[in-house]
Amino acid sequence: VIVVLIVISAVVFGLTLKSAFESTFLSRCEKFDQYDCKKVWDAFQQAYVNKDPCKVPVEAYDPLIAAAPFKPQCNRMMFWSKTKDVVHGFTEKRDCFVTLEDTLLGSVLDGLTWCGKEGSKDTNTTGCPGWSDCENNTVRSFWIRASAAFADVACGNVTAMLNGSINTPFNPTSIFASVEVPRFIASRVKNLNVVMVIQKNNISNCTDPYLKNLTQALDKGITYSCKDVPESQIQECGAKPEIACGDCW
């Protein structure tokens, strides 16, 4: 009897056992109210399960975006390129801006790697193609789709943090330049405020000729401003809640 019970419970346990990936997904998701996380998980999985991980087009994530749509948060939306750590170091401490990683989908999948395999219903977390290994890879297509949806709802005054320590703070191959900026439309977005993050040995700033490509790519009617801000100033504002969001830089 005991053996039978052990076998039965092992089978039941095995059937309900979630992978570590699914557990992470669901526990991160459950921090957000108003969403049916099981539904979001199913919509997510259908994008890549049983597919060649290099053949997942951006549109494969359309049902996922529909299951967890982005809400516009006018005047508070923050975009970034090559400044992830500074941006999130700041947004973690202060409630001034909303980044994609503060939304359900962005926070659930931030830092994760996943892909499927033809003929399998599993989600793998190892052996998946890297960011540039093939164009339509599982992870990259997700970030392109999610970034597009996030940029589609941008409104009011939009902020972007760019990196003054690299040669091309506005790189045409980045998601920011290729996916997000082209989606800012003048009927929704009033102004794009670039915060150029300046470190000790910066090589770029707001006068960088590359930024001409940014102003030219902006929909006519959206105004543009740029401010060089030392990284230490951003960190200080993160550490001092008594400084008003509008006075950080």
Residues of this chain that interact with ligand N1C (CB under 6 A) are 79-82, 84, 100-101, 106, 110, 131, 139, 143, 147, 150, 174-176, 180
* Residue among 215 and 243 whose Cβ is closer to ligand N1C: 215
Which residue in 54, 74, 96, 206 is the catalytic one?
A: 74
Could you tell me which of 81, 17, 26 has the C-alpha nearest to residue 213? 81
Give catalytic status of residue 245 as yes or no.
Answer: no
Q: How far is the CB of 146 from ligand N1C (least distance, A)?
A: 7
Q: What is the dihedral of CA 211, 228, 148, 65, to 10 degrees?
A: 170
Beta-sheet pairing, 223-230 with 156-163: unpaired
* Residue among 36 and 85 whose Cβ is closer to ligand N1C: 85
Q: How far is the CB of 174 from ligand N1C (least distance, A)?
A: 3
Separation of alpha carbons 30 and 32, rounded Å: 5
Reported as half-sphere exposure (CB side, CA atoms, 13 A), residue 99 has a value of 22
Q: How far is the CB of 104 from ligand N1C (least distance, A)?
A: 13
* Residue among 156 and 243 whose Cβ is closer to ligand N1C: 156
Structure-token pair, residue 53: 């991980």
Separation of alpha carbons 121 and 50, rounded Å: 6
Strand boundaries in the chain, DSSP class E: 78-81, 156-163, 189-198, 223-230
Give catalytic status of residue 155 as yes or no.
Answer: yes
Q: How far is the CB of 32 from ligand N1C (least distance, A)?
A: 16
Which residue in 29, 155, 226, 237 is the catalytic one?
A: 155
Catalytic residue positions? Answer: 74, 155
